[in-house]
Amino acid sequence: MKATHLAFLAIQRAAAALADQSADLLKAEGLSIAQYNVLRILRGAGQHPLSCGEIAGRLIARGPDMTRLLDRMQRDGLVARERRRDDRRVVGTHLTPHGRSVLERLDAPMAALHDRQLEHLGHRRLRQLITLVDVAVPPRP
């Protein structure tokens, strides 16, 4: 088997294992990985509401229909949506206090999970891993 194929499989295996553990932790809050990532994206946007397209463009993994995902999150009180004042054609989405609270409750457990998942590599290997992945898979434009 070619080295490129083996590398691809290794990356896929590692990503799936790490994601499965994250998904298990998020289930306790009733969240999917996609919902968690949307919450993080919105927190990072600060007070600036983001459009559906802006959120989708920042997601790590493109998943289900973004509008339906945001509908569910709005129904669950995690996000609020409203038409932008500067452009009534665009609906902006922002975190609700409940969404922010859920995300804050997850900050420490997710950080601890990431530590358990990867700290055995040590600082030097972690830096190498980050560099290799960044070179192998450049960020999307």
Residue 36, in any domain of the structure: yes
Residue 128, in any domain of the structure: yes
Instruction: Tell me the pLDDT of the chain (141 aa) as tens digits.
Output: 899 899 899 999 999 999 999 999 999 889 999 999 999 999 999 989 998 889 988 887 776 688 899 999 999 999 999 887 777 788 899 999 999 999 999 999 999 999 999 999 999 999 999 999 889 877 766
Phi, psi at 64, each rounded to 5°: -65, 175
**Domain total in the chain:** 1
Residue 25, in any domain of the structure: yes
Range of the domain at 76: 19-136
* CATH code for the domain of 33: 1.10.10.10
The residues near 111 (Cβ < 8 Å, ≥ 6 apart) are none
Residue 11, in any domain of the structure: no
**CA pair distance 113, 125, nearest whole angstrom:** 18
Residue 7, in any domain of the structure: no
